[in-house]
Structure 1
Amino acid sequence: MKILDRSQIYEADAQTLNAQEISSTDLMERAATKAFDWLHHRLQGNPVNIHVFCGTGNNGGDGLVLARHLVEHGYHVAVYVVKYSERRSDDFLTNLKRLKARKMWPEYLDEGSPLPELHPDALIVDCVFGIGLNRPPQSWVGALFEHLNASGAFILSIDMPSGMYLDQLPEDLSKVVHANHILTFQAPKLVFFLPQTGAVIQQWEALDIGLDAAYLDSVIPEYELLDPTVLRSWYRPRSKFDHKGTFGHAFILGGSHGKIGAVALASRAALLCGTGLVTACVPGCGYIPLQTQLPEIMVHTTAAMEEHLELPEVLSGQTAGIGMGLGTGAGVQKAFLAWLKIQKQPVVLDADALNILSLNPKALKDIPEESILTPHPGELKRLIGAWKDDFEKLKKARAFAQKWKCILLIKGAHTMILRKEKGYINLTGNPGMATGGSGDVLSGMITGLRATGYPPLQAALLGVYLHGRAGDLSVGETGVEALTASDILSRIGMAFRELSGQLPSQPPQNGSTEPSENSSQEPAQNGSQSHSESSEKPS
């Protein structure tokens, strides 16, 4: 699913009006009716008190349409117009007249108005600001949003949480509506997936409002969500006469005293992704643990990690993942930098391989094109420099990926994969995956997928998606706190079976493109609500 920026959203609306020969009021009616249908399907006429807060622009117009339909279906509705401006959009005024024609009179709120009384069992519908907001709301409006947040009522935001910008961090997140659920139109917004802004967003769904299909097909977004259907089309089933040589040879380089487990996890992950052969390249202290724990792999050892200088001749043309538990001593740095210079194939760079590059930035030019870098947040900061907020982090990370022609992962609750001008956002995974060794499993999976023949971008996207799905399939059994990297390993096969269609797939946990009757984030019929916290999961 494509994530559109502000100009693309406005253009999609314009193209729709032209192609379908409808007015903007007609499009507003269609969109808000979709939101009403969603809500009515869940409430089924339940006598919950509904408070609809509208701005004076088009987002407020959506709220007026929604309120009119609620009134027509017998719901207990109170409508508030937040007079943050004397300007009114034409569509707002049209729908205000239609609402009044139903004998429904809104209450107007301004700077001197008392704050409405809101019971925790009520339902709040937030339609004050939309995607056009580009400056902080007035202080009294911010105080109103804080009042909504403190009410304990279930909050449903239409299209965007009021007070949230589309492309920058709000000055004060306490002055943003903290939505339990967002009904966004046609496609989600980037701010739903960033740690700082996503922290005040619990759940979202995208409602198809029939925007012009030709435009949506042609537009090129900066970001899009990973689509399981597309990933499934890449899946390579095995044929009867394949053999282990068909599926490549992956080399995992890393380990040091006390950190051989990182290589063990990565090597097993590569095996479980279908690699025909796996060789672990480790110092001598890793020989017995790896040969004992993983009899399926081969082990190449050196007397000490400083002697990795011999490895370039062995591995110059092979699929390799390097860095797990490697260390950053002077000898290791020298060996790694020499190895990197002669690599011709894309490699997977993780952990200490990235730390060595941070210490030797001139060596960034030696990274083979299309190599895959998998830093955790601290390693990313050492690579690209500090950032003031998530938007600057993305800007710096995109510039880094473009300059060095690599594929860069930003690991977190919604891992992002950056390549050239494009970013991909993953929806699988859960907070339990914030555990030691999870990143080693991911790097091993990507290395294994590369060895089996997937191109670098496909390997990165499949690896991130399957890694998250394996975690999701595990957490139902282990719980969030007890999930380990080994649990993720144990579900990789099941994640592959699901991707290949051998098992029925489950909807993503963090968002949806379709309404779900079993969503834990919908208002219950008695007006109560349950909460599902989002959390970053650095791997």
Structure 2
Amino acid sequence: MKILTSQQIRYVDAETIKREAISSLELMKRASTAFYNWFIEKYSNKSTSVLIFSGVGNNGGDGLFIARLLHKSGYSVKVCIVEYKNQYSEDCAHNFRRAKAENISIIKIYNEDQIPDICKYDVVIDGIFGTGLSRDVTGIAESVIGKINESGAKVISIDVPSGLFLERKTTFAVKATETVTFQIPKLALFLPENNLFTGNVTIIDIGLNEQAISESDSNIYFTEKSEISKLIKPLNLFAHKGTVGHALIVGGSLGKCGSVCLASRAALKTGCGLVTAYMPKCGVQVIQINFPEAMAIEDRGERYISNIDFEIKPDAIGIGVGMGQNEETKKALHDFLINNKVPLVIDADGINILSSNHNWIELLKPDTILTPHPGELSRLVGGWSDDYDKIQKTRLFAQKYNLIIVVKGAYTLIIDSENIYMNSTGTPALATAGSGDVLTGIITSLLAQGYNPIDSAKVGVYIHGMTADFTTKSINPRSFVASDIIENIGNAYNNLEKIR
């Protein structure tokens, strides 16, 4: 699913009206009805009192149309029109006239004294500004948004929280509990810095013209279940352990050998036929007791890796988990990178070592996958001023070295030299020790099974997130641990293969 800019969204809206021979008012009706259907499913009790803040543009028109639909269905609705200017859009003016004729309670707000007591209402719907906002919020709109945010009320924003910029940093906007956005994902809704404003985000279909969307150029995508499902390779009836990939996991040091155990288990659970762990001597007994399905190769170092040397021929390698940054380990990694020709995933201390030895990055083969958390990313690409700057710096880094960077976090980003893919699965349950080690094992396994690197990253991140989605009711997110990810990988596969 493409993520588009505000200008592209306006184009798609206009083309939908043109190509489907409908009025702008009809498109507004589609959007408002879709929001209404979502709302009544979530708030089916018609005694729910609703306060709607509408602007004077088309987002305000949506708010007024939604007010009409809710009023007609028996909800208690009050509308406040925020008069930040005295010129209404044509469709907003139409819905204002219709709402008045239908005896909906409406007040116009020119100054702060006219703002009602927000706390008296069960739900607030925010429809002041939409995606076209291009300047900082001031005047009465600023006062209203401030009052909404101070109220602590449950707030649902129509399309985007009022005040949120789509293409640059936002410092002041409605702090929505939920945002119900119209069909096209907006990058700003999924950035960490904007979570304070967006709350939970739901995408609803409003019948925009699919051809117009497909014609809009974008290199930013929101990954969907249907897309990932199509990427899953079928399992051949005559497959055996020697035909579905051999993954090598390199890492571990004294006190950190569990990370290799987690990555190795995840690799095997994700479907490769063979997994070998390469560890310092202190880790071999640990993994063979903890995970007997794995084979193990002992490094000559007792407490840390000092010389990465093996005779096996793996199909993919994951390196860095729990590895530490001993000087001998750094040299071992350098020597390994000089000679490596195998598809590679680098995580944790592997990334940290590269960050302090930038000239070694040129040793990486094209499409090597790096999986940094935010701290590791900042050491790798440098600090950033905001999320947009972070994305830009990561894109330039990926382009310079022809790498794939998996920026871990909520809505994990997968950035290669051409595109950005935003993951749609996962919950805060994944913020747990070992979660990244498991992801390394999953992606390495997919590489070993013959997935190309970008698909390995996309599928791996999606499956990793799905395991948390599945367990929201059975495991409290606070109690979720990395082993729970591994145990639910099979459930993720079952779910993805159902929709083929």
TM bin, normalised by shorter chain, reads over 0.9
Confirm or deny that 1:249 pairs with 2:230.
Answer: no
Inter-partner Cα distance in structure 2 for 1:124 and 1:232:
37
The letter for the 2-side match of 1:70 is: L
Moved more, 331-340 or 474-483: 474-483
Deviation string, structure 1 residues 413-468 (Cα, Å, up to 9, x no partner): 22111122322222222222211111111101111111111111111111111112
The letter for the 1-side match of 2:223 is: L
For the residue of structure 1 that corresponds to 2:99, the secondary structure is helix
Normalised TM-score (structure 2): 0.93
**Counterpart in the other structure of 1:264:** 261
Structure 1 residue 152 displacement after superposition: 4.0
**Counterpart in the other structure of 1:534:** none
Inter-partner Cα distance in structure 1 for 2:112 and 2:363:
63
Inter-partner Cα distance in structure 1 for 2:336 and 2:363:
10
Count the aligned residue pairs.
499
Aligned equivalent of 1:389, options 381, 386, 399: 386
**Counterpart in the other structure of 2:326:** 329
Confirm or deny that 1:464 pairs with 2:453.
Answer: no
Structure 1 residue 15 displacement after superposition: 1.0
Structure 1 residue 315 displacement after superposition: 6.5
Deviation string, structure 1 residues 465-505 (Cα, Å, up to 9, x no partner): 1112223334543322222112222222222222222xx99
Structure 2: 5+ residue runs without aligned partners? none
Q: Give the 3 Å change call, closer, same or farther, for CA 19–467 of structure 1 in structure 2.
A: same
Aligned equivalent of 2:213, options 212, 216, 221: 216
Structure with bigger RCO (C-alpha 8 Å, 6+ apart): 1
Structure 1 residue 4 displacement after superposition: 1.6
- Is contact 2:304-2:323 (8 Å) kept? no
Structure 1: 5+ residue runs without aligned partners? 506-539
Aligned equivalent of 1:232, options 214, 225, 229: 229
- Is contact 1:316-1:343 (8 Å) kept? no
Inter-partner Cα distance in structure 1 for 2:76 and 2:473:
39
Deviation string, structure 1 residues 221-256 (Cα, Å, up to 9, x no partner): 332222222222222232332111101211111111
**Counterpart in the other structure of 1:159:** 159
Inter-partner Cα distance in structure 1 for 2:246 and 2:100:
71
- Is contact 1:120-1:152 (8 Å) kept? no
Confirm or deny that 1:492 pairs with 2:489.
Answer: yes
- Is contact 2:305-2:323 (8 Å) kept? no
- Is contact 1:191-1:198 (8 Å) kept? no
Moved more, 116-125 or 129-138: 116-125
- Is contact 1:475-1:483 (8 Å) kept? no
- Is contact 2:50-2:121 (8 Å) kept? no
**Counterpart in the other structure of 2:343:** 346
Normalised TM-score (structure 1): 0.87
- Is contact 1:316-1:339 (8 Å) kept? no
Q: Give the 3 Å change call, closer, same or farther, for CA 31–497 of structure 1 in structure 2.
A: closer
**Counterpart in the other structure of 1:70:** 70
Inter-partner Cα distance in structure 1 for 2:250 and 2:318:
6
**Counterpart in the other structure of 2:451:** 454
Structure 1 residue 398 displacement after superposition: 1.6
Runs (4+) of structure 1 exceeding 4 A deviation are: 40-45, 305-308, 315-318
The letter for the 2-side match of 1:169 is: K
Inter-partner Cα distance in structure 2 for 1:221 and 1:457:
17
Deviation string, structure 1 residues 27-76 (Cα, Å, up to 9, x no partner): 22332233233334555572333222111111111112222333344433
Moved more, 80-89 or 45-54: 45-54
Instruction: Tell me the C-alpha RMSD between the 2 structures.
Output: 2.3
Inter-partner Cα distance in structure 1 for 2:375 and 2:124:
39
For the residue of structure 2 that corresponds to 1:192, the secondary structure is helix
Q: Give the 3 Å change call, closer, same or farther, for CA 249–71 of structure 1 in structure 2.
A: closer
Deviation string, structure 1 residues 287-333 (Cα, Å, up to 9, x no partner): 2112222222221112217774452x747874111001112222221
Confirm or deny that 1:424 pairs with 2:387.
Answer: no
The 5 A counterparts of 1:74-113 are: 74-104=74-104, 106-111=106-111, 113=113
- Is contact 1:52-1:80 (8 Å) kept? yes
Q: Give the 3 Å change call, closer, same or farther, for CA 389–316 of structure 1 in structure 2.
A: farther
Deviation string, structure 1 residues 110-167 (Cα, Å, up to 9, x no partner): 2354321223443222110001112221154323223223334332211111111112
**Counterpart in the other structure of 1:117:** 117
- Is contact 2:84-2:139 (8 Å) kept? no
